[in-house]
Structure 1
Amino acid sequence: MRIGEAASVSGVSARSLRHYEDEGLIVPGRFGNGFRDYCPATIDRVLVIRSLLESGLPVRLIRELLPGVTGEAGAGADAGCAEFLREVEDYRDRLAARIAVLSDRQAALDAYLREARRGGGR
């Protein structure tokens, strides 16, 4: 399918599809006239990429490790999947640590505001 239809089917803009290609995340086929040709497997990959990007994973990590996640055959597919999962867990743990710091800061601000509203913080 051409880029317009692929964008419609995947829910990703044509511009995003071109960006994914520029970043090496997808490699659509080409028609004889040079137009991109998106097969169902590429659309499935786009959906995985979109989901991973929406969860905050960096493009670098997705580009390096995605082949193992999408079930592409290859000698290192299982190792790539395990590595990808470790990287995702590490990213999640770093995110959780940042959330904890921000929660502590929010609690401190809440305490300050409570005190200020009682007249103690002028």
Structure 2
Amino acid sequence: MLIGELADRTGTSRRLLRYYEEQGLVSSGRSPSGYRVYAESCVDRVLQVRGLLDAGLPTRIIKEVLPCMDTSRTIRISEATDETIATLERERDRMTDRIRCLERNRDAVADYLDAVRGARDAAPPPAATPAETSVLA
């Protein structure tokens, strides 16, 4: 598939796809006319990269982790340096902290919505203004 189709299917800009390729996160071939051509498997790979970026991993770590991942759900065990393991542990812990913060914020917003809805439901309806009363009469 061409870069435009990959961009459409993944919701990723063409510019970002070219950046992912420059970083070694995805790869493409070339058509006879010189256009980038991506395999079907690149759809999952781009979505995987986006998910890891959204989780806060930097591209250099993603580049190290991607060879260990066959699909978005399966991880192959490969040799990892002590530095890579330590980096991944720090990133995992940072993600866990972000998840806790997001959960607290979500719960606070839910509590606020409940309070606002409760106050609105408990409030008496507003009284009609004189102009509204004369129209209704």
Aligned to 2:50: 50
SS at match of 1:78: coil
Aligned residue-pair number: 95
Unaligned runs of 5+ in 1: 72-76, 101-122
Q: Verify: 1:79 aligned to 2:78, yes or no.
A: yes
In the TM superposition, structure 1's runs of 4+ consecutive aligned residues that sit over 6 Å from their partners are 83-86, 97-100
> Over aligned residue pairs, what C-alpha RMSD do you find?
3.0
Pair 1:11–1:99, CA change in 2 (3 A): closer
Unaligned runs of 5+ in 2: 101-137
Deviations 1:77-104 (A, max 9, x none): 42259x978754431224556999xxxx
Contact residue 67 and residue 80 of structure 1 kept, 8 A: no
Contact residue 65 and residue 80 of structure 1 kept, 8 A: no
Aligned to 1:38: 38
Report the AA paired with residue 3 of structure 1.
Answer: I
Instruction: Answer with 1 or 2: which has the greater Rg.
Output: 2
TM-score when normalising by structure 2: 0.58
CA distance in 1, matches of 2:66, 2:85: 10
TM-score when normalising by structure 1: 0.64
Calculate percent identity across the aligned residue pairs.
Answer: 43
